[in-house]
Amino acid sequence: MTNDAFAKHLGVAIRTVGKWHERPDLTPRTEMQQLLDTVLDQAPDAAKSRFALIVSEGAEAVSSGSDPAQMLKVAIAVVATEKKVLLVCRRGDDGQGISWQFPAGMVKPGVQPETVAVRETLAETGVHCVVVRGLGSRLHPVTNVFCEYLLCDYLAGDAENVDVVENVSVIWADKSKLTRFIPAEQIFPPILDALEVPSD
């Protein structure tokens, strides 16, 4: 499909599809990823086969080191104080819909996830933090993006919405109320353990 046809098929603005071509490292928001997953599920078998082939070739190139292509990876900063955890409220790619998340950023080749976590937290929220330890990694159950989770300590700065294009709001949420913002089943279990938040 052309960009215009694909945008119409998805029901999004053509500039959204154009942005994906301009910035291939861009991670679609949760709502957009769900839409793309639905479209793929409904695609003809031939299209699914082509997509699977492209994805598998990319994965083989990454594992063999024969190509500079890398798996899409996001560093997620879980910034905590004694009683609170830092959250951002993100806009959907189409400007509609919001979701609460931890600050995060794309990990580009040659850059450490720890560097991305600290830098993106500052860029999004104005908060300075330091990585304490890794919490592990997983393929995100909603976005299917590979995520590296990092527990961070707050250092300085007032939490504010610095990135008004991507985010609606930034808050310090009580750890005990975290699952009111993000459903427990979507939170990586080691995060709940590290923050001592009940999973039910």
Q: What is the residue-wise DSSP string for 26-47?
A: PPPPHHHHHHHHHHHHHS-HHH
Tell me what percent of the residues of the chain surpass a pLDDT of 70. Answer: 80
Number of Cα atoms under 13 Å in the Cβ half of residue 40: 11
Task: Return the residue matching tokens 């994906």.
Answer: 20
DSSP 8-state class, residue 94: T
* Other Cβ atoms within 10 Å of 88 Cβ, number: 25
Instruction: Note whether 133 and 180 are same-domain residues.
Output: yes
Task: Return the residue matching tokens 């599920």.
Answer: 41
Instruction: Note whether 100 and 179 are same-domain residues.
Output: yes
Instruction: Note whether 134 and 173 are same-domain residues.
Output: yes
pLDDT in the model for residue 159: 92
CA torsion, points 47, 147, 102, 22, in degrees to nearest 10? -50
Decide: residue 74, CB within 10 A, 0-12 exposed, 13-18 middle, 19+ buried. Answer: buried
Least confident of 1-10, 61-70, 157-166, 172-181: 61-70
Q: Please indicate, yes or no, if residue 102 is contained in any of the structural domains.
A: yes
Q: Please indicate, yes or no, if residue 162 is contained in any of the structural domains.
A: yes
Cβ 125 vs Cβ 85: under 8 Å? no
Instruction: Note whether 52 and 136 are same-domain residues.
Output: no
| pLDDT band at residue 62 under the 50/70/90 scheme | very low
Cβ 59 vs Cβ 71: under 8 Å? yes
| pLDDT band at residue 29 under the 50/70/90 scheme | confident
Instruction: Note whether 138 and 175 are same-domain residues.
Output: yes
pLDDT higher than threshold 50 for residue 16: yes
Tell me what percent of the residues of the chain surpass a pLDDT of 90. Answer: 40
Domain end point (choices 64, 85, 114): 64
Instruction: Note whether 19 and 52 are same-domain residues.
Output: yes
Q: Please indicate, yes or no, if residue 131 is contained in any of the structural domains.
A: yes
Q: Please indicate, yes or no, if residue 114 is contained in any of the structural domains.
A: yes
List of residues 6+ apart from 130 with CB closer than 8 A: 118, 152, 153, 155
Q: Please indicate, yes or no, if residue 119 is contained in any of the structural domains.
A: yes
Instruction: Note whether 45 and 91 are same-domain residues.
Output: no
pLDDT in the model for residue 26: 72
Instruction: Note whether 91 and 174 are same-domain residues.
Output: yes
Pick 57 or 156 by higher pLDDT. 156
Domain that holds residue 33: 3-64
d(CA 6, CA 17): 8
Domain end point (choices 64, 96, 114): 64
Q: Please indicate, yes or no, if residue 133 is contained in any of the structural domains.
A: yes
Pick 170 or 92 by higher pLDDT. 170
pLDDT higher than threshold 60 for residue 94: no
pLDDT in the model for residue 173: 94
pLDDT in the model for residue 108: 87
Instruction: Note whether 116 and 169 are same-domain residues.
Output: yes
d(CA 78, CA 194): 10
d(CA 112, CA 78): 16
Pick 107 or 41 by higher pLDDT. 107
Least confident of 30-39, 76-85, 114-123, 177-186: 30-39
- C-alpha R_g of the chain: 18
Instruction: Note whether 130 and 94 are same-domain residues.
Output: yes
Report the Cα 83 to chain-centroid distance in Å.
Answer: 24
Q: Please indicate, yes or no, if residue 44 is contained in any of the structural domains.
A: yes
pLDDT in the model for residue 64: 54
DSSP 8-state class, residue 92: P
